[in-house]
């Protein structure tokens, strides 16, 4: 593999474009960025995928470039698609535009969209792949896993005290985490397309399950994830999760596999699991947790509800051992500090199976 310094800089920029906030994510939506380079290594055009039904990153960049795309190098974060969905194949657009070379970070895991490289090479376009693949996978990993496994990617989030309690003995849990941690949670919620809890959480805690802004006000309905409640019990329609702030679906099953299958059919790509300990344990035991985000507060309860239920672990050798990928201290804002808030620690972890796949 041989990449020029200009191509490396262009891929860095393409990754920035792909990470543009506000792109609504569903099961067949890719976060992709594209930069077109002229022969003298200057940037001709840029583009990124803005959501379902909009032009893909390559098509957006080509439209901006016009005739200047002829003979250019397209630097893309994901293999150009070779199928017709809501929009036409990016491969055909690149061929028609007269692009000379295509550099992309990683292959598309969706078998329907794959085959882009073969089509481009058949048209005489030079193709190189693997540039900044790790960074691209960190960005597109949700989509890639959803396509490989035909189910949504699952992020399990919870807040805990130093001694592993998510609620006190009397059931109170407001607030285990700090205001800064709660703001960060809303940031992460906004990156997902589905919030999932169990029916017991809805019955007992009556959560809103919405994305809210820095003033604790719900953002617009068009930016709200789907609220999914999992469980067989009937629920009081007056529970707040059934209000009009966002759409809600009741998945009448206790089986995590079935719940995710139903969500994938609904074009869901990324589930934010915020259920109680029983639901968390069910997903962990089923091997269906792909990322863990936990907020640890400087607090001791000594008794109360654990963050996770029985995992079937009877000896230390059987312990579930995810790999830490990030540790961040969330400091309080000046207003939080005035209220006596202390820093919380956010830990991000991935199951060892996924970490090993990523390393290889």
Task: Examine residue 175 and say whether the peptide bond preceding it is cis (omega within 30 degrees of 0).
Answer: yes
pLDDT one-digit tens code per residue, 120-157: 999 999 999 999 988 887 777 787 788 888 999 999 99
| Range list of β-strands (E), 226-300 | 226-230, 248-251, 270-273, 291-297
pLDDT average, residue stretch 302-311: 90
* pLDDT confidence tier of residue 27, bands split at 50, 70 and 90: very low
Percentage of the chain lying above the pLDDT 70 cut: 93
Sequence-distant (≥ 6) Cβ neighbours of residue 354 within 8 angstroms = 145, 290, 291
> Average pLDDT of 355-360?
44
pLDDT of res. 255: 96
8 pLDDT exceeds 90? yes
- d(CA 131, CA 278) in angstroms, rounded, equals 42
pLDDT at residue 352, as a whole number: 78
Radius of gyration of the chain from its Cα atoms, rounded to whole angstroms: 22
pLDDT at residue 342 tops 80: yes
Confidence of residue 316 (pLDDT cuts 50, 70, 90): very high
Whether residue 358 contacts residue 325, with contact meaning beta carbons closer than 8 Å, is answered with no
Mean pLDDT of the chain: 88
Is 305 assigned a ligand-binding role in the annotation? Answer: no
- The C-alpha atoms of residue 329 and residue 347 are separated, in whole angstroms, by 9
Dihedral of CA 206/210/211/213: which sign?
Answer: negative
Q: Binding site annotation covers 65?
A: no
Q: How far is CA 218 from CA 23, 178, 224, 250, 254, in A?
A: 18, 19, 8, 21, 29
Q: What is the largest CA-CA distance in the chain?
A: 69
Query: In percent, how much of the chain has pLDDT > 90?
Result: 59
Top-level CATH class of 5-143? alpha beta
Element (H, E) at 59: helix 57-65
- The 10s digit of each residue's pLDDT in 97-111 is 999 999 999 888 777
Classified as helix, coil or strand, 338 is helix
Query: Which of the four CATH numbers 3.40.50.300, 1.20.140.10, 1.10.357.10, 3.40.430.10 does domain 151-351 have?
Result: 3.40.430.10
Catalytic residue flag (residue 359): no
**282 known member of a binding site:** yes
Checking if the pLDDT of 26 tops 60, the result is no
User: Annotated binding residue at 280?
Assistant: yes
Does residue 10 have a known ligand-binding role? no
How many other C-beta atoms lie within 10 A of the C-beta of residue 232?
A: 10
Helix axes 57-65, 90-97, angle to 10 degrees: 20
Report how far apart, in Å, the C-alpha atoms of 160 and of each of 65, 137, 177, 228, 341 are.
51, 29, 7, 23, 15
pLDDT for position 145? 85
Would the annotation count 34 as a binding residue? no
pLDDT in tens, 78-87: 999 888 777 7
Query: Cβ of 325: how many Cβ atoms within 10 Å?
Result: 15
Inform me whether the pLDDT recorded for 356 exceeds 50.
Answer: no
For residue 195, pLDDT over 90 is answered with yes
Kindly tell me the number of DSSP H helices and DSSP E strands found in the chain. Answer: 11, 15
312 Cβ partners below 8 Å, 6+ apart? 285, 318
Residue 319 among known ligand-binding residues: no
For the residues 262-288, what does the mean pLDDT come to?
92
**Contacts of 237 by beta carbon, 8 Å cutoff, 6+ apart:** none
Q: Sheet holding 43-48: strands in order across?
A: 43-48, 33-37, 73-78, 101-106, 126-129
pLDDT tens digits along 61-77: 999 999 999 999 999 99
Q: Following CA atoms 187, 189, 190, 196 in sequence, which dihedral angle do they give, to the nearest 10 degrees?
A: 180
Q: What is the pLDDT of residue 355?
A: 46
Mean pLDDT in residue range 212-220:
78
Residue 357, pLDDT above cutoff 60? no
Q: Give CA–CA dist 327/340, Å, rounded.
A: 23
> What pLDDT shows up at residue 337?
64
Q: Looking up tokens 């399990």, which residue turns up?
A: 156
- The answer to whether 259 is annotated as binding is no
The answer to whether 206 is annotated as binding is no
Q: Span 171-192, mean pLDDT?
A: 87
- Determine the pLDDT at residue 24: 55
The confidence band for 360, taking pLDDT boundaries of 50, 70 and 90, is: very low
Q: What are phi and psi of 337, to 5 degrees?
A: -60, -35
What pLDDT, on a 0 to 100 scale, did the predictor assign at position 45? 95
Pairwise CA distance, residues 13 & 21, whole Å: 15
As a whole number, mean pLDDT of residues 24-49 equals: 83
Encode pLDDT of 223-259 as tens digits. 789 999 999 999 999 999 999 989 999 999 999 999 9
User: One of 58, 106, 262, 291 is an active-site residue; which one?
Assistant: 58
Query: So where are the chain's domains?
Result: 5-143, 151-351
175 annotated ligand binder: yes
Helix H or strand E segment including 122: helix 116-122
Provide the β-strand partners of residue 330.
344
The candidate with the shortest Cα–Cα distance to 106, out of 85, 132, 143, is 132
According to the annotation, is 41 in a ligand binding site?
A: no
């Amino acid at each position: 593999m041989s990449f020029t310094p200009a191509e490396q800089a262009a891929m860095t920029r393409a990754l920035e474009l792909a990470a543009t906030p506000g792109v609504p994510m569903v099961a067949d939506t890719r976060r992709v960025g594209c930069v077109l380079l002229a022969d003298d290594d200057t940037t001709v055009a840029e583009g990124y995928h803005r959501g379902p039904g909009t032009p893909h990153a390559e098509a957006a960049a080509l439209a901006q470039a016009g005739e200047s795309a002829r003979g250019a190098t397209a630097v893309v974060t994901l293999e150009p698609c070779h199928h017709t969905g809501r929009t036409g194949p990016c491969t055909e657009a690149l061929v028609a535009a007269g692009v000379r070379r295509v550099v992309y970070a990683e292959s598309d895991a969706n078998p329907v969209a794959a085959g882009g490289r073969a089509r481009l090479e058949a048209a005489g376009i030079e193709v190189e792949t693997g540039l900044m693949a790790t960074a691209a996978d960190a960005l597109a990993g949700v989509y890639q896993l959803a396509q490989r496994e035909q189910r949504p990617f699952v992020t399990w989030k919870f807040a805990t005290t130093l001694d592993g309690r998510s609620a006190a003995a009397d059931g109170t849990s407001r607030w285990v985490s700090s205001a800064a941690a709660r703001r960060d949670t809303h940031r992460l919620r906004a990156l997902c397309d589905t919030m999932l809890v169990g029916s017991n959480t809805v019955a007992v805690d009556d959560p809103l399950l919405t994305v809210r802004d820095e003033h604790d006000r719900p953002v617009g309905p068009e930016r709200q994830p789907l609220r999914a409640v999992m469980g067989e019990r009937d629920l009081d329609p007056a529970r707040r999760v059934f209000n009009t702030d966002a759409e809600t679906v009741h998945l009448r099953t206790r089986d995590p596999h079935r719940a995710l299958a139903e969500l994938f059919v609904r074009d869901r790509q990324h589930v934010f699991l915020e259920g109680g300990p029983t639901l968390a344990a069910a997903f962990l035991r089923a091997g269906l947790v792909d990322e863990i985000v936990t907020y640890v507060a400087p607090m001791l309860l000594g008794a109360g509800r654990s963050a996770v239920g029985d995992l079937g672990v009877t000896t230390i050798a059987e312990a579930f051992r995810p790999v830490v990928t990030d540790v961040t201290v969330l400091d309080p804002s000046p207003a939080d500090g005035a209220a006596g808030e202390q820093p919380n620690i956010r830990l991000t972890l991935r199951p060892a199976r996924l970490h090993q796949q990523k390393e290889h």
